[in-house]
Amino acid sequence: MIKRFISYYKPHKKIFTLDMLASFLIACLGMFYPISTRIMLNKFIPEKNYDMIYILGGILFITYVVRMLLRYFVQYYGHIMGVKMQAQMRKEMFKKIQSLPYSYYDNHETGKIMSRMTNDLMDMSELAHHAPENFFIFGIMIVGSFIYLMTIEKSLTLIIFACVPVMIIVSATFKNRMREAFMESRKNIAVINASLESSISGIRVTKAFNNSKIEEGKFDIGNNAFVESRRKAYKAMGQFFSSTTFITDVFNVIVLIAGGIFLFKNKINAGDYAAFIISVNLFINPLTKVIDFTEQYQNGVTGFKRFLEIIDENPEEDSKNAKNISDIKGEIEFKNVSFSYVKEKQILKDISFKIPAGKKVALVGPSGEGKTTICHLIPNFYKISSGEIKIDGININDITLESLRNNIGIVQQDVYLFGGSIKENILYGKPDASDEEIFEAAKKANIHDYIMSLENGYDTEIGERGVKLSGGQKQRLSIARVFLKNPTILILDEATSALDNTTEIFIQKELEELSKGRTTLVVAHRLSTIKNADEIFVIQDGNIKEKGNHQELLEAKGIYYKLYSSMFNN
């Protein structure tokens, strides 16, 4: 993991090198004060050399000015480096998220993913900046002060240094507790973010049902879990810091007693003793800073681990022999296809059918029987358990995902529109389309005139998920998007079931226009909308129970007849 973390410094070698050089100089200049103190006490003051006292003071002042400038450089450019690394990781994570399969999002909440991309990477950014600097500065100060202390009085230095292993043992004892506790709190922050994302997205439903108390209750569960995990983390941190701080306090007691004895026995003079006390603080303070840095280190490390959990997920990938397809006819064939989202429950059971190119087939049947699943398998959103799915006689696993999906258009019940303008949302069907192509697609979807009636026309902002548009307008935009894409295969997954009857009638006309010349697969609950389908499949218990056109199935008086009768007799 450390090697992978270090690899993110490579694009920033120059600023990292300058940062470390500045940190080195800061550490070295920090040693100048105790050295100056010793020279002044042992030489210039006894010799009453006042000129050198002023000169030394001036040099010390200039040293601190230089140190101030170096600290500014480290603080500013060090943080810039950390932010650039954070941006680099965020870009890598976003790219990875785009490549993950459908199944990943079935099991991971949006808010939790967002938490990893924001909170976790922010902590990682701070670690990336502070870790090298702190360990470099403090490491040099610890080593440098130890060497300098040895030049003053070896025995006294070794007595002080003997306490260091005790501090290391205490640190190691509480380190694991802190890491586990901080990881738990990270997970609970993600839970809170997921709850927030869900509640804010559904705020209109909450208000409509007057259920704010319920949402507050849900939020409190995650919030209280976070408080408890933080309590554990701070308990471990409190034990850690109180113990290590106690040891550093003991350092000062030892220096006071041992130094006094050494001074009494003339093994050290007053000037050296004063310099020793100052230098001991140069030795102890970095140790304390390293200890204080532990919390930030734990936050950064746990954040990086959670980042890697996403980065190491297996992405959607083309098979080795996959090839691009173009100008397809649109024939779809399922051969003995079985599929399950989880092992315990099989959704499709050895299902087989063929849809000739350009034909329109409707899937009907009770909810949860596999209709939408069939639609999701054609673009290869999920991998089937067994069997084979073919487009124009080619196994979809032998087709690149990009070219396969470029030939498939999907209109769903739950239309998703992105924040932005009407034009940007239509362009999603073909990002390089011209304005003329956009206008033509909108006209075919029967929404061009409405768009032109708006003050800003195609540049009108539609709000989050198209909140400023009606249900029919949203659906027409999604249809315009597919017209612009111009796919060979069209999937209509209950595209009008969320609309009122009047709007549905109008939208149905656009869908009929959209279906012309394309292989079309329609999932519908309202059987009146699929009377003109070339063939209707009745899906039940994960298989096709009946096939035929509308009239044939009615005459058979089977499942379809019962569904149709129950719908129109009520």
Strand order in the sheet with 360-364: 408-412, 489-493, 519-523, 360-364, 535-540, 543-548
Q: Are 507 and 446 in contact (CB under 8 A)?
A: no
Q: Is the pLDDT of residue 478 over 90?
A: no
In a domain, 321, yes or no: no
Parallel, antiparallel, or unpaired: how do β-strands 332-339 and 348-355 relate? antiparallel
Higher pLDDT, 567 or 220: 220
Identify which has the larger pLDDT, 373 or 497: 373
Q: Is the pLDDT of residue 457 over 80?
A: yes
Query: Is the pLDDT reported for residue 468 higher than 80?
Result: yes
Residue 415 is predicted with a pLDDT of 78
Whether residues 126 and 252 share a domain: the answer is yes
CATH number of the domain residue 404 falls in: 3.40.50.300
Percent over 70 (pLDDT), the chain: 90
Q: Where are the alpha helices (DSSP H) in 265-370?
A: 270-311
* Cα–Cα distance for residue pair 268/281, rounded to 1 Å: 18
Mean pLDDT confidence for 506-512: 79
**Whether the predicted pLDDT of 275 surpasses 70:** yes
Helix (H, G, I), strand (E, B) or coil at 399: strand
pLDDT in tens, 147-203: 877 887 788 778 777 777 776 677 667 666 776 776 677 677 767 776 666 666 666
What pLDDT score does 208 carry?
54
Residue 384: phi and psi, rounded to 5, are -75, 155
Residue 281 or residue 121, greater confidence: 121
Whether the pLDDT of residue 561 is over 90: the answer is no
Q: Say yes or no: 431 and 539 in one domain.
A: yes
Q: In whole angstroms, what separates CA 491 from the centre of its chain?
A: 30
Please report whether residue 327 resides in a domain: no
Predicted pLDDT of residue 11: 87
Nearest to 374 by CA among 261, 479, 511, 492: 492
Cα separations in angstroms, 386 against 166, 346, 349, 521: 61, 11, 9, 22
Q: How much is the CA Rg of the chain, to the nearest whole Å? A: 35
Q: Are residues 246 and 365 in the same domain?
A: no
Rounded CA-CA distance 144/515 in Å is 78
Residue 352 confidence (pLDDT): 93
Distance CA 20, CA 242 (A): 31
The whole-number pLDDT of residue 333 equals: 94
Range of the domain at 277: 2-311
Q: Which domain-ending residue is among 245, 276, 311?
A: 311
pLDDT score recorded for residue 57 = 85
**What percent of the chain is modeled with pLDDT above 90?**
14
pLDDT digits (tens, 9 = 90+) for 37-82: 778 877 887 878 888 888 888 888 999 899 899 989 988 888 888 8
Tens digits of per-residue pLDDT, 540-552?
888 899 999 889 8
pLDDT digits (tens, 9 = 90+) for 311-325: 888 888 888 888 998
Residue 377 CB neighbour total at 10 angstroms:
22
Is the domain of 401 the same as that of 294? no
Q: 158 and 189: one domain?
A: yes
129 and 173 co-located in one domain: yes
Give the residue with greater pLDDT, 18 vs 153: 18
152 and 181 part of one domain? yes
Give the mean model confidence (pLDDT) for residues 275-288.
72
Domain count, the chain: 2
Residue 264 and residue 355 in one domain: no
pLDDT at position 224 = 80
- Let me know whether 305 and 336 are in one domain: no
Q: What confidence score (pLDDT) does residue 198 get? A: 66
Are residues 178 and 231 both part of a single domain? Answer: yes
Q: Is the pLDDT reported for residue 402 higher than 60?
A: yes
Which band of pLDDT confidence, cut at 50, 70 and 90, is reported for residue 23? confident
Query: Does residue 205 carry a pLDDT above 60?
Result: no
What residue ranges in 524-561 does DSSP mark as E strands? 535-540, 543-548
More confident residue, 526 or 400: 400
DSSP state of 342: B
Assess contact for 125 and 12: CB atoms under 8 A: no
Res. 497 pLDDT band, cuts 50 70 90: low
Please tell me the predicted confidence (pLDDT) of residue 20: 86
Angle at 190 between CA 189 and CA 195, to 5 degrees: 100
Residue 477 located in a structural domain: yes
Same domain membership, residue 371 and residue 283: no
C-beta of residue 297 within 8 angstroms of C-beta of residue 308: no
Instruction: Indicate the SS3 state at residue 421.
Output: strand
Q: Which of 46-60, 100-114, 341-355 has the lowest mean pLDDT?
A: 100-114
Note whether 386 and 259 are same-domain residues.
Answer: no
User: What CATH number does residue 195 fall under?
Assistant: 1.20.1560.10
Structure tokens at 156: 């006294």
Decide: helix, strand or coil at residue 453.
helix
Asked whether the beta carbons of 159 and 258 are under 8 A apart, the reply is: yes
pLDDT for position 100:
86
Give a yes or no: residue 219 inside a domain.
Answer: yes
The predicted structure's pLDDT at residue 107: 80
Residue 336 has pLDDT above 90, yes or no: yes
For 403, the enclosing helix (H) or strand (E) is helix 401-406
Q: Which residue has the higher pLDDT, 397 or 525?
A: 397
pLDDT at 298 over 70: yes
What's the token pair of residue 15? 């600023």
Cα(303)–Cα(89) distance, rounded to whole angstroms? 12
**Which tokens sit at 203?**
């705020």
Which of 266, 282, 311 marks a domain boundary? Answer: 311
